[in-house]
Each structure stands twice: as structure tokens, then as C-alpha cells.
Amino acid sequence: PALSLALLDQREEDAGCLSRVRITTERYARLVHLAVEPIEESVFSDNYFDLVPGDEKLIDIRSGRTIDQGNINIGHWSGRWL
């Protein structure tokens, strides 16, 4: 399935940065998961979830720095595994 990711917001916090992304899909996607490159310690509000067409998932990512959208990788069960 084609997954779409959009970086909605980023803000600096005392312990780093909080980023919010929106994920959508055109077809059922099983075990959708995210990773930030380069590999660093990031905490996701949710990871490894299923997503159905017409729904969207908002994910908060806490990390030590701001994140470019191009550095957020997204995969799923039947596609690229991160």
C-alpha cells in the first residue's frame, strides 16, 4: 500500500524537539512503523499499528533535535521493513 507522511508541526522543548506527523494510506496497511535517520534515540507516541483507507494517524516524535521530513522513514508489513 502507498503510505503518505506529512510533517505537521515541530517545536523546541527543554529536552529537545517535539514533531507531529500525519500518516494516511490508500489501502490497508499492516504494522506501519517509523524510524528516524540517522539512527538516534527517538520516542514515538505510537509505532507498529494498522491503518485503513480513509483514516489518518497522528504521531508525536520526541527527539534531541529537529527532524527533516526526509529523515523520517516509514514502512509496513508487506513493504520495506526498517
pLDDT tens column, 5-47: 999 999 998 889 999 999 999 999 999 999 998 877 899 999 9
What is the dihedral sign for C-alpha 24, 29, 31, 32? Answer: negative
pLDDT of residue 25: 94
Residue 19 contacts residue 42 (beta carbons within 8 Å): no
Q: Tens of pLDDT along 54-73?
A: 999 999 999 999 999 999 99
